[in-house]
Structure 1
Amino acid sequence: MSDSNKDNNSKTPKFKFNAYWIYGAIFLAIIAVQFFSSGDLATKNISKNEFTEILKENDISKILVINNNVAQVFIKEDALKKKRYQKLVTSTFYRKGASLYEYNFGDLQNFENDVEKIRKENDLDFDLKNESRTSMFDTIIGFLPFIILIGVWLFFMKRMSGGGAGSGGGGQIFSIGKSKAKLFDKDTKVKTTFENVAGLEGAKEEVQEIVDFLKSPEKYTALGGKIPKGALLVGPPGTGKTLLAKAVAGEAGVPFFSLSGSDFVEMFVGVGASRVRDLFKQAAQKSPSIIFIDEIDAIGRARGKNSMTGGNDERENTLNQLLTEMDGFGTDTNVIVLAATNRADVLDSALMRAGRFDRQIYVDLPDINERKEIFEVHIKPLKLADDVNVEFLAQQTPGFSGADIANMCNEAALIAARQGKKAIHHQDFLDAVDRIVGGLEKKNKVITPKEKKTIAFHEAGHATVSWMLEHAAPLVKVTIVPRGQSLGAAWYLPAERMIVQTEQMLDEMCATMGGRAAEKVMFNKISTGALSDLEKVTKQARAMVTVYGLNEEVGNITYYDSSGNDSFVKPYSEDTAKTIDKEISKMIEAQYQRAIKLLEDNKDKLTTLAELLLEKEVIFKDDLQKIFGKRPFDEVEEKIEKEIEEEASVPPVNKTEE
């Protein structure tokens, strides 16, 4: 055989057997048997006159009355030789001994009287019999609606239980209690490793220890240590909890079962607990192994909080089974449970205790150094221009999670491609930040010249006040191009502080009120454009008074409850509430008057900045330096940073104690 023939044979689709073909063949066989065994295929319908004529000639040997309404006429063998019968006899479908004619007579009693009368008049010899018949085909047709209903019911039950024939054990209704966990082992390796996880050094160190224990348990057991039961990854969305679990799967080299908390939830009672049992049974058979449950709050919520559902809640039964499997009577298998959630505050206390989740790893939003590492991971596949400054991008994205940074890099690539560029420039990344934070640019929004002037002075007020204050974040750019819900925006480069002092928060509040203050100074009128500013400063002032205890009148008291149980209870009296409201209003008003004073002292510079903003629509830090000069606070900060660097470069002196 030639190679080309081999190739053709290899491309020929293979024959695949389907069980439904058997049902189809049986149905066709029933129809065929009924069709070919009836013997009525050559039967001809005749009229009353034709029947009477044949009857009087004495050619009929037997008349068989079927179901009291049809007469089958059988012709004598000698008479079949006559010419009038030959055409039917020689037919392909005629079978010897079968009826040749069929006569629909109507009323049975009249038919029997007429036949008996003709018999006596012509002295005829034939038999007359009555017979009741039931057709198998008619029976099937009668039961067809019930057959269709049963078929539809079986189809939907199979769909609800997990799919068709290719879904393995979960494809049948009796396998609905089986676990839906996806297994990753030596045959299905995960390519993600700890090298692909930027930042998260503390979290990686914790889970790395679990991986090391599974790879070489004797290192720890030699000292009497025991394998940890579980680790709970907690943190805001997008910080890399699931990615960290994937890296554990890639590094561990042991069977890794991955599923979501919602996979235990089903419409049938008892399925969740059954799937938990099956999951831990599979994991124990392949131990040492790891189970990863993403979004565990779907089944791990605190029990007894919702009394409306009653005591026999399906989710609580699933949680009880999970608690038993993790640390119940006789659980001595080397199975480690990793779980991830954004809502650790709603989890049941029994699930969080030591012995079940021994480690609670908080995966926080990345700091500036971690953001730089994350940027370097996500820009590897991108074609970058030489002007891209990754360190500046890390500074420009405070509060961004790893998922946000990945989205920003992708958005920058899309912006560059939309403009027909061959590489991604630094400005494309800045435009991506504007797109993500501010929203889509509204080029077709109609703004009157008067409104545009008000917006320009509002944004110029923010820029001016923030430039004059020591602790306010340094400005990056100001724009009056509408984006999303905002008509203008000022972009800052905030310092990442571990703790915030009262003066720093007050300066931020003053800079936020600079927009409304500018409207008051220039037009002696205020507008609704300061809504988001007012919301921000009100939240800051309320936090200073009720959370951080930074108000002298209220004192060193906090009304914050970290457990989240105070949502329906006011933890202070009515008199205290009045004091809090009074202090919040006084604090905001003081910063508003402070902003007005700063702008009145620099009214000419504010006007120059607003006119430049109306002309260019977007201005940057360099433009502000030309108008205001260099910030004196920046020089002080640079001097302090230089002194810190010099101290760090000096080698330490070894001191000896006498």
Structure 2
Amino acid sequence: MSTNKKDNKSNIPKFKFNAYWIYGAIFVALIGIQFFSSGDLASKNISKNEFYEVLNENDISKILVINNNVAQIFIKEESIEKERFKKQVKSPFYRKGSPLFEYNFGDLQNFENKIETAKQLNSLDFDLKNENQTSMFDTIIGFLPFIILIGIWLFFMKRMSGGGSGAGGGGQIFSIGKSKAKLFDKDTKVKTSFKDVAGLEGAKEEVQEIVDFLKHPEKYTSLGGKIPKGALLVGPPGTGKTLLAKAVAGEADVPFFSLSGSDFVEMFVGVGASRVRDLFKQAQQKSPSIIFIDEIDAIGRARGKNSMTGGNDERENTLNQLLTEMDGFGTDTNVIVLAATNRADVLDSALMRAGRFDRQIYVDLPDIKERKEIFEVHIKPLKLADDVNVEFLAQQTPGFSGADIANMCNESALIAARHNKKSIHHQDFLDAVDRIVGGLEKKNKVITPKEKEVIAFHEAGHATVSWMLEHAAPLVKVTIVPRGQSLGAAWYLPAERMIVQTEQMLDEMCATLGGRAAEKIIFDKISTGALSDLEKVTKQARAMVTVYGLNDEVGNITYYDSSGNDAFVKPYSEETAKKIDKEISKMIEAQYQRAIELLSNNKEKLSILAKLLLEKEVIFKDDLEKIFGKRPFDKEEKIEEVKETPQVEESTEEK
């Protein structure tokens, strides 16, 4: 018998005590305490619309604001029997005198203002009180479950990584779906204003109107108008799109959320859409407000293109959420979205439509008047000499953006300091232009006398042909000093044209081929130094034939697609392709022969100019006038808008 008893006892499973039992018991106990210590279990969370229905029917006896973010709604005794409240009252957890509803309102100040407005309009008679429930016991009870969950998470992270490496990433994972937008409000006010933005008059007028919408909405809504949902700033890099947004932040005097399009991108699925939701939720709580998304093309690219990977689908999910937030159900809030991009052509058409971005504001490169204004802004902190001519600098820097001009002003100060000057002279600005456009001067570059002679005749050929042609750009200077990747350059100052005629393009092509033609005439040989020239004229000729329809043989037809959908499709047949290649070659060869003819008729003057260039290394317009005389077709007119186009050629040794 005793043996059987021992056997029976040995078959009973033995439960071993371990730490997981303690964790489980504590977790169950805390859940129980949390459950039974709560006196408001019957309270139902209600939406914004439900809250205002109860509010407007004057059924509320008291509103108690808990910890500045939750409102407990108490119902009047005479209203408690209404049909809409019966289900809540019949709850086994309901106690008389306890709140029937809870409402998460978001921003306290906006909530209090709306309550006061409703009380005045509807003659409501209830009290609004604030209460901070921050006793030590409640705090411990509230945070202990989270502490235990974090502890369990850290425990498993430690088990998986074999150490404490997981602790540092905990905060990042818990906040990964939150918006990364920087908030600028009355506490962190931006000091930039529209006075700090030089030029851009049209763009400033557009964004100033947006600011006026937010400051005086009744001026427009009283006539039945609606505040625009968004404005898209489009333009080349460095033209001042972000600066305009800063000026809006400084002038609007409303909360301003600023972030980049790449801030929505994350390696985890669903994070981008979550951040979009959180961003608009914050903006709606602080409305009226502005959201500024810089480089929106990071998430706003057209859907359905190049969808080869799952990462692209995640970007599309983020875009879908953005589209919904900007113009979907329940988006009637005073939140204006500003965005900036220099790639508007790749944006999704649904993002560009009216109702999302109602306005597209094009921020173009500044003209001569605007460049002068930009110079006056950036030279204020500089110590200038008396010989600085701002108007001339504006003429010498066409095609420069605002960022380029700022860089040029800074570079001129560095050049002056490098030469131990006490102030910045006009020549320092001109040297800064050469440094930015042409590159750093290479004084120690090894060039043989023969190569230097070839380079001199090459640049002299450009200068001579451009001087002889009516529509070629006026010459500024010619140099054979190596800069950057170029061994020599001819600088021109052509007028900025809104349209270009065939004769003007052909004259420019002939002047570009003047360098190679000069080598052929003088040395009866050609070099690789004309690479950039050939590349330029080939692009010009192809554009004339296939884009602008300026060729009689191909005809009045263009193969250009502004939508960019023909990137991998040739929009013409093989027969047409052969005709296009033939016409391009014929056009280039005709201008090459024309350049040879012009230089042959002026061979002596060409040699004088090349020798002068070898002697001085840099020559200017006055030197050409002494050799060739004044251009017969030059008019005594002021050049209004100019565009600097350096011609850069590479020598055989460079290649």
Same fold (TM over 0.5): yes
Tell me how far apart the structure 2 counterparts of residues 230 and 310 of structure 1 sit (CA, whole Å).
30
Q: How does 1:388-399 map to 2 (within 5 A)?
A: 388-399=388-399
Cα deviation for residue 153 of structure 1 reads: 0.9
Name the SS of the counterpart of 1:387 in structure 2. coil
Paired letter, 1:498? M
**Which deviates the most, 304-313 or 452-461?**
304-313
1:431–1:555 distance in 2 versus 1, CA, 3 Å: same
Report the Cα offset of residue 555 of structure 1: 1.1
**Aligned runs of 1:182-331 on 2, under 5 Å?**
182-309=182-309, 313-331=313-331
Contact 1:231 1:339 in 2 (8 A): yes
Q: Determine if contact 1:518/1:599 at 8 Å carries over to the other structure.
A: yes
Cα displacement (A) at 1:147: 10
1:275-315 Cα offsets, whole Å, 9 max, x none, are 11111111111111100000111111112213323599221
Change (3 A) 1:197 1:308: same
Q: Which amino acid aligns with 2:449?
A: P
Change (3 A) 1:626 1:288: same
The alignment partner of 1:313 has SS state of helix
Residue 519 of structure 1: how far off its partner (Å): 0.7
Paired residue type of 1:324:
T
Find the counterpart in structure 2 of residue 544 from structure 1: 544
Q: Which residue of 1 aligns with 2:343?
A: 343
CA distance in 2, matches of 1:342, 1:530: 32
- Paired residues for 1:548-559 under 5 Å: 548-559=548-559
The answer to whether the aligner puts 1:597 opposite 2:597 as a matched pair is yes
**What one-letter code is carried by the residue in structure 1 that aligns with 2:628?**
F
Distance in 2, Cα, partners of 1:144 & 1:268? 18
The answer for the alignment partner of 1:91 in structure 2 is none
2:605 counterpart SS class: helix
Aligned pairs for 1:448-467 within 5 A: 448-467=448-467
Q: Distance in 2 between matches of 1:252 and 1:576?
A: 56
Higher relative contact order (CA 8 A, sep 6+): 2
Asked whether 1:362 is paired with 2:375, we answer no
Deviation, 1:192, is 1.1
- Counterpart position of 1:638: 637
Deviation at 1:151, TM superposition (A): 2.3
Once residues 395 and 576 of structure 2 are traced to their aligned partners in structure 1, the CA distance between those partners, rounded to angstroms, is 40
Deviation of residue 236 (structure 1)? 1.2
Q: CA deviation at 1:638?
A: 2.7
TM-score, with length taken from structure 1: 0.72
Task: Report the structure number with the largest CA radius of gyration.
Answer: 1
Q: Indicate the SS of the match to 2:308.
A: helix
Deviation track 1:243-295 (CA, whole Å, cap 9, x = no partner) reads 11111111111110000111111222211111111111111111111000001
**SS of residue paired to 1:308:** coil
CA distance in 2, matches of 1:479, 1:465: 16
Residue 398 of structure 1 deviates from its aligned partner by 2.2
Q: How far apart, in 2, do the equivalents of 1:310 and 1:372 lie? A: 49
CA–CA distance in structure 2, aligned partners of residues 208 and 145 of structure 1 = 55
Q: Which residue of 2 aligns with 1:624?
A: 624
| 2:406 counterpart residue number | 406
Aligned equivalent of 2:376: 376
Choose the corresponding residue for 2:167, options 140, 151, 154.
154
Letter in 1 for 2:210: I
State the 1:640 CA deviation.
11
Q: 1:585 to 1:144 in 2, by over 3 A?
A: closer
1:410-489 correspondence to structure 2 within 5 Å: 410-489=410-489
CA–CA separation in structure 2 for the residues paired with 1:394 and 1:639? 13
- How much has 1:348 moved relative to structure 2? 1.2
Provide Cα deviations, 1:197-230, integer angstroms capped at 9, x if missing partner.
1111111111111000101111111111101000
> Could you say what secondary structure the match of 1:624 adopts?
helix
Equivalent pair of 2:465/2:595 in contact (CA under 8 Å) = yes
Aligned counterparts of 1:144 and 1:346: Cα–Cα separation in 2: 42
CA distance in 1, matches of 2:240, 2:158: 55
- SS of the aligned residue for 1:638 comes to coil
One-letter code aligned to 2:302: A
In percent, how many aligned pairs have the same letter?
91
Q: Secondary structure at the match of 2:258?
A: strand
CA distance in 2, matches of 1:578, 1:302: 34
What is the DSSP-based 3-state SS (H/G/I as helix, E as strand, rest coil) of the residue aligned with 2:481?
A: coil
Q: Tell me the distance in 2 between the aligned counterparts of 1:225 and 1:349.
A: 25
Q: How far apart are the structure 1 equivalents of 2:550 and 2:157? A: 80
Q: Distance in 1 between matches of 2:158 and 2:312?
A: 39
Deviates more, 1:335-344 or 1:144-153: 144-153
Asked if the contact 2:157–2:166 (Cα under 8 Å) also holds between the matched residues in 1, the reply is no
The 1:536/1:214 distance shift into structure 2, 3 A limit, reads same
Compute the RMSD of aligned alpha carbons. 1.9
Paired residues of 2:158 and 2:165 also in contact (CA < 8 A): no
The answer (yes or no) to whether the contact 1:190–1:249 under 8 Å persists in 2 is yes
SS at match of 2:464: helix
2:569 alignment partner AA: V
In structure 2, the gaps of 5 or more residues are: 1-155, 641-655
Please list the CA deviations of residues 155-181 of structure 1 after superposition, one character each: whole Å capped at 9, or x if unmatched: 2344xx1xxxxxxxxxxx322211111
Deviation at residue 341 of structure 1 after TM alignment: 0.9
Count of paired positions: 485
Which residue is equivalent to 1:24?
Answer: none
1:66-105 aligned at under 5 Å gives the runs none
Contact 1:398-1:494 within 8 A present in 2 as well: no
Structure 2 letter corresponding to 1:491: W
Q: Deviations over 1:438-485 (max 9, x none)?
A: 111111111111111110010011111111111111111110011111
CA contact (8 A) 2:521 2:600 kept: yes
Aligned amino acid, residue 570 of structure 1: K
Please list the CA deviations of residues 300-352 of structure 1 after superposition, one character each: whole Å capped at 9, or x if unmatched: 11122133235992211111111111111121110000001111111111111
Q: For 1:446 and 1:363, how far apart are their aligned partners in 2?
A: 44
Instruction: Report the Cα distance in structure 1 between the residues aligned to 2:573 and 2:221, rounded to whole angstroms.
Output: 56
Residues in 1 aligned to 2:520 and 2:397: alpha-carbon distance in whole angstroms = 32
Q: d(CA) in 2 for partners of 1:371 and 1:639? A: 17
CA distance in 2, matches of 1:321, 1:145: 36
Q: Which residue of 2 aligns with 1:500?
A: 500
Residue 232 of structure 1 aligns to a residue whose secondary structure is strand
Q: Distance in 1 between matches of 2:337 and 2:420?
A: 49
From the superposition, tell whether residues 547 and 155 of structure 1 become closer, same or farther in structure 2 (CA, over 3 Å): same
Change beyond 3 A, Cα 1:639–1:212: closer
For 1:151, give the aligned amino acid.
Answer: G
The structural deviation recorded for 1:603 is: 1.1
Q: Deviations over 1:28-66 (max 9, x none)?
A: xxxxxxxxxxxxxxxxxxxxxxxxxxxxxxxxxxxxxxx
Deviation per CA, 1:596-628, whole angstroms, max 9, x where unpaired?
Answer: 111111111111111110001011111111111
Q: Distance in 1 between matches of 2:604 and 2:322?
A: 69
* Contact persistence 2:229–2:336 (CA under 8 A): yes
Task: Indicate the SS of the match to 1:336.
Answer: strand
Instruction: Give the distance between the partners of 2:526 and 2:269, measured in 1 at CA.
Output: 61
SS at match of 1:604: helix
Mean Cα deviation higher: 296-305 or 606-615: 296-305
Q: Aligned runs of 1:101-116 on 2, under 5 Å?
A: none
Asked if the contact 2:158–2:164 (Cα under 8 Å) also holds between the matched residues in 1, the reply is no
Residue in structure 2 matched with residue 528 of structure 1 by the alignment: 528
Offset at residue 146 of structure 1 (A) = 4.9
Give 1:149 deviation, angstroms: 3.5
Is the Cα contact below 8 Å between 2:509 and 2:537 reproduced in 1?
yes
| Superposition misfits of 4+ residues, deviation over 4 angstroms | 143-148
Counterpart amino acid of 1:154? Answer: A
Q: Output the CA distance in 2 between the equivalents of 1:587 and 1:215.
A: 59
